A and B are shown apart, each in its own frame.
Chain A
Amino acid sequence: MKSVSRLGWAGLVGVLVLAGWLLPRWLVFLLALALAKGVAVLSVVVLMRAGLVSFGQGLFFAAAAYAAGFAMRWGVRETLLLVPWSVGVAVLVGALAGLLVARYRDIFFAMLTLALSMVLYGILIKAYGVTGGSDGIRIPTPTLLGVQFSGEGARLVVYYLAVAATVVAAWTMGRYDRSPAGYLAQAVRDNELRVAYLGAPVPRVVYLGFLLSSGLAGLGGVLTALNVGHVDPGLSYWTTSGELVFIAVLGGTGSVMGPLAGAVVYELIRSYAFKYAPYAWQMMLGAAMLLIILFLPGGLWSPVERLWRRQTT
């Protein structure tokens, strides 16, 4: 119920792998960006399991992206080192931030996470000597297993990296959803008091979700950095976080597939809307979100999911 069947997943991965070969280059690039964002959207969804909305995922997104940038500057170019290192930094930031915010709920949680990401934004802007200020840091092409790719090849490597990371993220998320910790998170959303009266420490349940969330957001961040080849403070700005929340609502938070599908649809629409209606773009987003919240609370994916369930039962 919570996951699309294994067959569905295998098919999807097959399609993504083939897409790398068959689709035009610009579309592959766009897809890689969408997957990176989709992984970060999963980080928002993890917290929504516990009824929490974070408007500050940019904190981890940017922390991991900059971690990759610094590592590159120190001479580390190997993808298989860069990704774990960057995700590790994001989780560390999450471990510290979580101590502060795990006690808070509702809008307090939303706005405190927002404030933290804005603090990082401020630091990234101000510490010009280290972070390059608003110019940011350039990310050169990484190596894979010591091999330096260039041009088209490099693009494809980053794309397949994004596919692999998406699979790992979705698998982890599925695990979490089925685990006692995942159900406890939902239990916290439903009735926090009862969770305490079952003998479970509520803050620790939230904290665990927060750690997982920071790791997923970090994974999305480092993928984005490698894709774009550049990081800047905008990654930590609250609109980045707001965008992730928007995609989560768009795709629906009930499944793992919804947010990923939402991210792809969103990136496709955005690339056109940004070009043809730059001043009405946010307005369309806002209107779409209103319509979804008011008329399709499960997100765009929810009818698909309902159909799927009817087919399988």
Chain B
Amino acid sequence: MDKLAVIAVDGLVFASWLFLVSAGLSLIYGVLRILNVAHGGLFAVGAYAGASLVVAYSAAGLWPLGALLALLAAAVASGLVLGLVVERGVLRWTYGREPVMQLLVTFSVFLILEDLTKLLWGVSPYYAYQPYQLLGQARVAGIDYPVYSFLLLVVAGGTGLGLWWFVRRTRFGRLVVAVIHDPEISVAMGVNLARVYVTTFTLGAVLAALGGAFTAPMISVVPGIGVEVIVLAFAVVVVGGLGSLEGAAVGALLIGLVRAAAVHLVPVLELFTIYLVMAAVLLVRPLGLFGRIEARRI
């Protein structure tokens, strides 16, 4: 019984982290129809930026909890800059080309970002444990959990609700929905496609950086952390149905819970759970849980 509670808590925490790191990927795919492999690089930059800002902030001896705001600021700043540069500088030249070529382009950007982090931050690890330590521990279901884990729940939930509000309740969000539905008709109706694309991509980049920044306090930030994130985020998004935010949330929840169950029940399988869930879902529903069927072509 205790085990069940532990699995539920672990699963929820992991799921909220998964949603946080995959929301941007899903959003960008939904609107631009591009699988952004550079997502992993943006995640890494966000983590490095967040870690170094937290270290600097903590050394200054100001209001301790401000370190959390430092994470947020680092994510928004690095995401904004890189999102704009990548979309305006590279991606926009590839619109209308084969999806496979676009995939390779974002893969190239990922390679560049990987070395950029090494050149900017070096190869020795960064530790930004201050926010993690500061929040301390809390006892849930008889086990001590770091409060920071629950902060992740709040951040992921806030991100999800914020996106939902943005897409469903704002004017710009409605334009985005129109573009998702049918880019050609949207253009005919006077939607400025270029603006929708650059805004969406930048927002997606900020989300990727946000995921990285809030991950930083829990890990040692080293080269190569972006690689695993791409695969994980892709799995989440595919399970939920590419381009669907609701899908990403459900996919994160499913994978989070299954992985937590594996950790506590069959530890050997832990490494494979995510791939097993992905394969199982795709075999039953090739387009993912929330995937849309294409319209008639002939």
Contacts and interface: CB of A to CB of B under 8 A. Distances in A.
Contacts of A279: 115, 118-119, 123
Nearest to A239: B227
Interface string A259-298: 0000000000000000000011111011101100110010
B115 A238 contact: no
A262 to B, nearest CB: 14
A111 interface: yes
Contacts of B81: none
A283 B115 contact: yes
A293 to B, nearest CB: 6
Given A249-B104, A293-B105, A281 B272 contact: no
A53 B100 contact: yes
Interface stretch (A3-11, A26-34, A57-65, A100-108): A100-108
B111 A289 contact: yes
B231 A51 contact: no
> In terms of DSSP, what is the predominant structure of the interface of chain B?
helix
B209 to A, nearest CB: 19
Contacts of A133: none
Contacts of B238: 108, 111
Contact of B231 (A106, A238, A287): A238
Given A280-B119, A290-B90, A110 B103 contact: yes
A5 to B, nearest CB: 30
Given A112-B282, A294-B93, A118 B275 contact: yes
Interface size class of B (residues with CB under 8 A): 35 or more
Interface in A93-137: 100, 103-104, 106-108, 110-112, 114-116, 118-119, 122, 126
B99 A289 contact: no
A280 B99 CA distance: 27
Given A104-B286, A126-B268, A287 B112 contact: yes
Given A111-B238, A126-B268, A286 B109 contact: yes
A115 B236 CA distance: 12
Interface of A: 51-53, 100, 103-104, 106-108, 110-112, 114-116, 118-119, 122, 126, 193, 238-239, 242, 245, 249, 279-283, 285-287, 289-290, 293-294, 297
